Structure 1
Amino acid sequence: MENYRPVIGITAGDPAGIGPEIILSALSIPALYELCRPLIIGDLGVITTAKKITGSTIELRGISDHCQAEYMPGVIDLLNLSDLDFDETSWANPTIHTGKAMVDYVIKATGMALNCEISAMVTCPINKKIMQMAGFDYNGHTELIAERTGTKDFVMMMAGDRLKISLVTIHMPLRNVSDALSTESIFTTIKITGEALIERFGIKSPKIAVAGLNPHAGESGIFGDEENNIIIPAIKKSAREGFDISGPFPPDTVFYNALNGSYDAVVCMYHDQGLIPFKMVHFTDGVNTTLGIPIIRTSVDHGTAYDIAGKGKADPGSLIAAIKMAAFQANCLKKGIKRDS
């Protein structure tokens, strides 16, 4: 186990965004090769152009099959999946062609993970609008990967060393959140989160907190009845299933307590409820990881950053953290830790 270095497939993301740059910066760190064997899935021409911009001295090695990879520090093994014309493609100017390419990278990595050709996949940022313009009607990576893996129930977790949050609802207007919540969806989020904390993070007896939806967690129904009618029944059901679960807690205090070690994760009712405190703490090193799917997937927690794309100054911190977390999860899964039934 000490010498186990999982193969991590890293998708290059939107070729017009900062994905190619942060890949070069991240894989210039030799220590990452001690943790894993990174394999880039992308476009050799685009990465070569990014290399000139960043001034990177790392060697690029294009391959046509993952079996050809050598995984040596100082060399990037790149599975060349597209051949974009950079006379027509430029930084911060995505096209239908770049949209199709970035989706092809994700589809390829997902298939490789399902076939155990890679141990985990890490995704660089994509443009959701361009993804849809290219003919892929998904809200993002997660929904595409869930469909490709045949997964109905999945959870978006944002994870860092100090704080981990899971979301019951993800991308939707705030006015729709209350109607979208149900006891079953909250219970499913708790269950998937608890099992992942054990199996993928190696926490044998995780403590999970649940945030309320309303101010003061409803104040006994004064500020809303979702806590009494929906959230508390989900918590009670989770407790009967053997999870160490507490709440619902006022959202303005629960994250402080989690940061101080009282809880291993917080289950949040909606996107910004969890993402605002998370990014206050883990803005440069936060990781998005998808739970509930049969493969390991981590991702950077930022977008394509077109405003700085092609300028050689993108921060690779989140990608470095995502690669490390993917390797860590692969090692935990290899150990086979399961929840006591």
Structure 2
Amino acid sequence: MSTPVILALTAGEPAGIGPELCLQLATESREAGLVVVASRPMLQARARELGIQVELQEWQPGKLPETRAGRLSVRHVEGCHSSVAGQLHTGNSQYVLDTLTIAATGCLQGDFDGMVTAPVHKGVINEAGIAFSGHTEFLQALCGVERVVMMLATEELRVALVTTHLPLKDVPGAITQERLAQVTRILNADLKTFFGLEHPRILVAGLNPHAGEGGHLGREEIEVIEPTLETLRAEGMQLTGPLPADTLFTPHWLDNADAALAMYHDQGLPVLKFQGFGRAVNITLGLPIVRTSVDHGTALDLAGTGKADAGSLHTAIRVAGRMARCRQAVQAGDPS
């Protein structure tokens, strides 16, 4: 029998919909072994507010999580100062980061096979005086890796990014041959390790309209992207591009590809979210751990109403489980 997969699930911003999405999981039995990393009193208060009957059981490393309806395993985290739905509180900021640290550290130590994250609120964390640009960068620093890659995926489409949370004016300067090569190597390697693709086929977008129009609309394609792709092709990678972003995301190209690589955040993600918002998953590649997340924000206006849709969370859990099992198979020498 295969070893059960255990995933840590951080509940995210207490004022947002993350806690109730976690609680919704207890309304039915689950195949996945989930441990919610959060404040137990905060979860209890939200459950009472929503009328969700749930027994929160303390989890310890080495213990199999609860999968029965009406029960959730919880790794309690101290420091949640306010649990009022829809009302941000800067005093919760360190607590939110502590949940991420505990989950990621548990993955590194082997207590968890991966982590799934509910949404956090970047603004309130920064208002608390803590520099924070997102889960991706936080986990990169915590795991001590030089480069990570953000990839969003649905069942039909995977889109990875060369740059993530940067002002648009800073994007061209950030796209260097070194960075592009690092990102593409990580994407190629993790598509093999976590998705079982022996020879990944990757489409690469240009930076400028029409992929630079032969240098008339920008020279980044000529001076940075094309030379880098030639080097990587010589290493055996299957790369197509640079392609104009406005035609890359069409069946002509996507039907014969495993992933697309966009140069910046709003070049690739609007297409993916239009195609599958609410059932997409955010994946961090390049880490020594499995990490997935929902594809939406904290939705403060929905918090406490019971109307939040857990579709993306279910997808994130399902994908994290698949990634963990695929890595186990690859490590065991059975890529099938």
TMscore range, shorter length: over 0.9
Q: Where in structure 2 are there 5+ consecutive unaligned residues?
A: none
1:83-94 aligned at under 5 Å gives the runs 84=80, 88-94=82-88
1:77 aligns with 2:73: yes
- The secondary structure found in structure 2 opposite 1:15 is coil
Q: Where in structure 1 are there 5+ consecutive unaligned residues?
A: none
Offset, 1:315: 0.8
- Asked if structure 2 preserves the Cα contact closer than 8 Å seen for 1:21 and 1:310, the reply is yes
- The secondary structure found in structure 2 opposite 1:336 is helix
Offset, 1:83: 5.6
* Identical-pair percentage: 35
Bigger mean CA offset, 247-256 vs 19-28? 19-28
- The secondary structure found in structure 2 opposite 1:298 is strand
Offset, 1:135: 4.4
- Asked if structure 2 preserves the Cα contact closer than 8 Å seen for 1:16 and 1:91, the reply is yes
In structure 2, the residue matched to 1:297 is 291
- The secondary structure found in structure 1 opposite 2:203 is strand
In structure 2, the residue matched to 1:243 is 237
User: Which of 308, 318, 321 is the matching residue for 1:324?
Assistant: 318
1:41-190 aligned at under 5 Å gives the runs 41-61=37-57, 63=58, 65-68=60-63, 70-74=65-69, 75-82=71-78, 84=80, 88-190=82-184
- Asked if structure 2 preserves the Cα contact closer than 8 Å seen for 1:189 and 1:267, the reply is no
Bigger mean CA offset, 149-158 vs 3-12? 3-12
Instruction: Work out the CA distance in 2 between the residues paired with 1:269 and 1:257.
Output: 20
Note the alpha carbon deviations across 1:226-254, whole angstroms, 9 max, x for none.
11111101111110111111101110111
- Asked if structure 1 preserves the Cα contact closer than 8 Å seen for 2:45 and 2:83, the reply is no
1:146-295 aligned at under 5 Å gives the runs 146-257=140-251, 260-295=254-289
Offset, 1:49: 2.1
Aligned residue identity for 1:73: R
- Asked if structure 2 preserves the Cα contact closer than 8 Å seen for 1:39 and 1:69, the reply is no
- Asked if structure 2 preserves the Cα contact closer than 8 Å seen for 1:207 and 1:263, the reply is yes
Offset, 1:68: 4.8
Note the alpha carbon deviations across 1:64-114, whole angstroms, 9 max, x for none.
6334554232110011112645xx541122212221111110010111011
Instruction: Work out the CA distance in 2 between the residues paired with 1:83 and 1:169.
Output: 33
Q: How has the CA–CA distance of structure 1 residues 59 and 218 changed in structure 2, closer, same or farther, with 3 Å as cutoff?
A: same
Offset, 1:50: 2.0
- Asked if structure 2 preserves the Cα contact closer than 8 Å seen for 1:66 and 1:79, the reply is no
In structure 1, the residue matched to 2:5 is 6
Instruction: Work out the CA distance in 1 between the residues paired with 2:295 and 2:43.
Output: 21
**Alpha-carbon RMSD:** 1.9
Instruction: Work out the CA distance in 2 between the residues paired with 1:64 and 1:332.
Output: 25
1:38 aligns with 2:34: yes
Instruction: Work out the CA distance in 2 between the residues paired with 1:70 and 1:304.
Output: 26
Offset, 1:204: 1.5
Offset, 1:329: 0.4
Q: How has the CA–CA distance of structure 1 residues 297 and 270 changed in structure 2, closer, same or farther, with 3 Å as cutoff?
A: same
- Asked if structure 2 preserves the Cα contact closer than 8 Å seen for 1:99 and 1:134, the reply is yes
- The secondary structure found in structure 2 opposite 1:315 is coil
- Asked if structure 2 preserves the Cα contact closer than 8 Å seen for 1:258 and 1:266, the reply is no
Q: How has the CA–CA distance of structure 1 residues 8 and 284 changed in structure 2, closer, same or farther, with 3 Å as cutoff?
A: same
Give the TM-score, by structure 1 length: 0.92
Instruction: Work out the CA distance in 1 between the residues paired with 2:262 and 2:67.
Output: 41
- The secondary structure found in structure 1 opposite 2:195 is coil
Note the alpha carbon deviations across 1:94-137, whole angstroms, 9 max, x for none.
21222111111001011101100000011111111222334432
Aligned residue identity for 1:334: Q
Offset, 1:54: 3.2
Aligned residue identity for 2:312: S
Bigger mean CA offset, 20-29 vs 318-327? 20-29
Aligned length: 332
